């Protein structure tokens, strides 16, 4: 364990502990201090640490090869979710496993980098990375995006798509592809708006642009802004946030947990959490630069991308910088599937670092 990154692991555990603290705050009642959400998340954290440690054991090349074949199983699970999945919170996104519900779209974030890098490794004799070489990967990525969006889960779909495309960029896919794709998306914007987006997704964009029925459609983000603003510099103190305690803030334990943090710990607390995330990500990127094998480096980057993108979008969403898309804050928000996949991603990432250092 000489090359194990104890600092990054400490940062991960610290952010997770802070998240659990605020899940406790958002779900606490005098009648039932330890809610089912808090208990499930606590069990989820211990199981996530076990998953993390198990991901350190095998050769990362074995994980990469298995990821290539397993991803086709992920596609099958996404199709199964659309047919027989459990319905909740306006979407059909989960598979009911009796004791808990699992979200298969989370597996796409973990296994797509393995699938892509394994494929490129099999094609390593090809020197020039043309669009033709990437066609199977791009088709797989697009199918994943469509299946996840149909649940509907635009937030996760966008994370899978954006992290996948960034990975293709880093793998030296011809830059003209991205230029032409941008022009095509811009040209098809009216069709995407009319045929692709659900009504509630359109409403979120309309409200973000300053239009729409603010009493109904902007309630969530307005309550988040009130929570953030009322926290001031030092915050109101743990369990003293009025937006949180009086249940004015919807989804306070999941997508909007950062707003609860700002209300109860203030600007100082928010800055500390942001500093922890920044330190974790910058340290990870610094470690990636030391990996000499290009395929291992690409795989490690792909495992981090979805976590970084989700963190940026979630905090930006809560602050009103981007429209609401329903993405949890990695390591802090309530949700077992997201927590397990995040820990698995870090586990495989540190596995690569340990073997390639």
pLDDT tens-digit readout, 1-53? 557 889 999 999 999 999 999 999 998 888 888 999 999 999 999 999 999 99
Q: What is the DSSP letter of 332?
A: T
- Number of Cβ within 10 Å of residue 240's Cβ equals 12
pLDDT at 344: 97
Contact call for residues 346 and 12 (beta carbons, < 8 A): yes
**pLDDT at position 92:** 76
Sign of CA dihedral 68, 70, 75, 76: positive
Number of domains forming the structure of the chain: 1
Provide the whole-model pTM.
0.94
Other C-beta atoms closer than 10 Å to the C-beta of 82 total 14
Position 1 in a domain: no
**What pLDDT score was predicted for residue 194?**
85
Q: How far apart are CA 111 and CA 102, in angstroms?
A: 15
User: Residue 85: what pLDDT?
Assistant: 77
Q: Outline where the chain has alpha helix (H).
A: 6-27, 36-55, 60-84, 104-122, 131-149, 154-170, 175-187, 189-191, 199-208, 214-217, 219-231, 242-245, 257-288, 294-319, 336-356
pLDDT of residue 89: 64
The reported pLDDT for the residue numbered 169 is 93
3-class SS of residue 329: coil
Tokens of 275: 């500093």
Quickly count: other Cβ atoms within 10 Å of residue 356's Cβ: 17
Residue 132 and residue 144 in contact, taking contact as beta carbons nearer than 8 Å: no
Instruction: Examine residue 329 and state whether it is found in any structural domain, yes or no.
Output: yes
Task: Name the phi and psi angles at 328, rounded to 5.
Answer: -70, 160
The answer to whether residue 245 is domain-embedded is: yes
Please provide residue 239's backbone torsions phi and psi, each rounded to the nearest 5 degrees.
Answer: 75, 5
Alpha carbon distances (Å) from 158 to 116, 155, 185: 17, 5, 14
Q: State both tokens at 273.
A: 């959490």
The domain in which residue 301 lies consists of 6-356
Question: Would the CA dihedral through 46, 12, 51, 313 be positive or negative?
Answer: positive
User: What is the predicted pLDDT for the residue at 215?
Assistant: 60
Residue 262 covered by a domain: yes
Residues lower than pLDDT 50 in the chain:
none
pLDDT given for residue 214 in this prediction: 57
pLDDT for 213 equals: 62
pLDDT for residue 212: 65
132: in domain: yes
């Amino acid at each position: 364990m000489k090359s194990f990154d104890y600092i990054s692991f400490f940062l991960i555990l610290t952010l997770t502990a802070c998240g659990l603290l605020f899940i406790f705050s958002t779900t606490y009642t005098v009648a039932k201090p330890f809610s089912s959400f808090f208990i499930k998340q606590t069990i989820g954290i211990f199981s996530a640490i076990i998953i993390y440690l198990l991901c350190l054991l095998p050769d990362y090349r074995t994980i990469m090869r298995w990821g290539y074949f397993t991803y086709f199983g992920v596609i099958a699970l996404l199709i199964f979710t659309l047919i027989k999945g459990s319905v909740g919170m306006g979407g059909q996104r989960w598979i009911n496993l009796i004791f808990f519900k699992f979200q298969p779209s989370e597996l796409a974030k973990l296994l797509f980098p393995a699938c892509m890098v394994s494929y490129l490794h099999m094609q390593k004799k090809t020197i020039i990375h043309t669009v033709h070489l990437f066609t199977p990967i791009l088709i797989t990525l697009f199918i994943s995006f469509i299946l996840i969006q149909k649940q509907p889960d635009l937030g996760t779909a966008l994370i899978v798509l954006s992290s996948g495309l960034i990975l293709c960029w880093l793998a030296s896919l011809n830059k003209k592809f991205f230029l032409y794709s941008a022009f095509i998306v811009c040209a098809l914007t009216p069709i995407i708006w009319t045929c692709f987006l659900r009504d509630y997704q359109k409403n979120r964009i309309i409200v973000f642009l300053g239009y729409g029925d603010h009493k109904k459609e902007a309630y969530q983000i307005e309550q988040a802004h009130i929570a953030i603003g009322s926290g001031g510099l030092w915050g109101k103190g743990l369990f003293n946030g009025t937006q949180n305690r009086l249940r004015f803030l919807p989804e306070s334990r999941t997508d909007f947990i950062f707003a609860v943090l700002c209300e109860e710990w203030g600007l100082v607390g928010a800055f500390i959490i942001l500093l922890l995330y920044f330190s974790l990500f910058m340290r990870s990127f610094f470690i990636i630069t030391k990996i000499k094998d290009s395929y291992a480096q690409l795989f490690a980057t792909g495992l981090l991308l979805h976590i970084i993108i989700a963190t940026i979008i979630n905090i930006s969403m809560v602050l009103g910088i981007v429209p609401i898309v329903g993405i949890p804050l990695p390591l802090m928000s309530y949700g077992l599937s997201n927590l397990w996949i995040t820990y698995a991603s870090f586990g495989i990432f540190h596995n690569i670092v340990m073997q390639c250092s």
